[in-house]
Amino acid sequence: MNIVFLDTMTLGECDLTPIKQLGELICYPFTTPQECLQRSKDADIIITNKVVLNKEILKQLPKLKLVCIAATGMNNVDLQVAKECGIAVKNVAGYSTKSVVQHTITLALGLLSKISYYDQYVKSAEYTKSPIFVNLKYDAVDIDNKKWGIIGLGSIGKGVAKIAMALGASVSYYSTSGKNAQGYPSQSLESLLKESDIISIHAPLNEQTKGLIGEKELSLLKNKAIILNLGRGGIIDENALAQELKKREIYAGLDVFEVEPMQKNHCLLSKDIPQERLLLTPHIAWGYVNSRKHLIEGIAQNIRSIL
């Protein structure tokens, strides 16, 4: 089997041995749309994380038997055309649940503790000039007794709820799909936004969630509330969020953005936004070491399923 991995750079440094054992593996760090067809034409199996396989490309790959998506989302492959061409398409689900939960808690605690400010304060040598042993310029806030609202109570949301409660928070949720989840009180979106001290988003991007949190919704947040997006970019209106951060004391932590990578001069990079109110990471919550190991094992298992 000829196996072509079109964008290994998206997985960082990791051991691809489980895949190499199943065929002749050719790896490309990154593949542009113009390079995709040429690199794929002799493949029996293609592995792609974010490289798009559209109708035009799939129709010209008669040898192709399987597309393995190195992710959970499948929107980069034309599934209908793949089916018409007899090409199986398999993703890997659930591999990153624990790391996304951990990253969510990390962002929340980082914002509550103002850790980025205090880290920079010490590293800049300002601390060496202090006449006293401590700096309490910004309040580090306990999570205990806070209200944590979760938007999207799937496996990740439930994992976050479990840890939040262990740290002393009370948990409620809003279901974007309308499905009920046992064990936690359900709220309307409006009530959850008004009442929660911390809101974390763990929903997929679809017709129900695109633009779910816009200017009106952000205006409902408590002063000093924290909003976190670990779901998909596009759920929060980033321009509206930037304006709200400039106007009043709310906090935000984002690992996902509407356009990735962020565009130059992005609104959230404005110098008018106090940086202690904002933590941004480059879509890494899924990519912790164990998560990538589980992902590679899942890809290998998907390949074995057709051999």
Residue 280 pLDDT > 80, yes or no? Answer: yes
| pLDDT for residue 297 | 98
Q: Give residue 125's pLDDT band: very low, low, confident or very high (50, 70, 90).
A: very high
Average pLDDT over residues 99-118: 97
What would the 3-class secondary structure string for the chain be? CEEEECCHHHHCCCCCHHHHCCCEEEECCCCCHHHHHHHHCCCCEEEECCCCECHHHHCCCCCCCEEEECCCCCCCECHHHHHHCCCEEECCCCCCHHHHHHHHHHHHHHHHHCHHHHHHHHHCCCHHHCCCCCCCCCCCCCCCCCEEEEECCCHHHHHHHHHHHHCCCEEEEECCCCCCCCCCCECCHHHHHHHCCEEEECCCCCCCCCCCECHHHHCCCCCCCEEEECCCCCCECHHHHHHHHHHCCCEEEECCCCCCCCCCCCHHHCCCCCHHHEEECCCCHHHCHHHHHHHHHHHHHHHHCCC
| pLDDT for residue 249 | 97
Q: Give residue 141's pLDDT band: very low, low, confident or very high (50, 70, 90).
A: very high
Q: What's the CATH code, domain 97-287?
A: 3.40.50.720
- Whether 103 is a known active-site residue: answer no
| pLDDT for residue 180 | 64
| pLDDT for residue 300 | 98
The pTM assigned to this predicted structure is 0.94
Render pLDDT for 145-189 as a digit per residue (tens, 0 to 9).
999 999 999 999 999 999 999 999 999 999 988 776 678 999 999
Render pLDDT for 44-101 as a digit per residue (tens, 0 to 9).
999 999 999 999 999 999 999 999 999 998 999 999 999 999 999 999 999 999 999 9
* 2-95+289-304 and 97-287 in the same fold: yes
Q: What residues does each domain of the chain span?
A: 2-95+289-304, 97-287
Q: Which of 103, 202, 217, 232 is catalytic?
A: 232
Render pLDDT for 4-53 as a digit per residue (tens, 0 to 9).
999 999 999 999 999 999 999 999 999 999 999 999 999 999 999 999 99
- Whether 277 is a known active-site residue: answer no
- Whether 304 is a known active-site residue: answer no
Q: Give residue 238's pLDDT band: very low, low, confident or very high (50, 70, 90).
A: very high
Q: Which of 24, 126, 190, 260 is catalytic?
A: 260
CATH 3.40.50.720 assigned to 2-95+289-304: yes
| pLDDT for residue 97 | 97
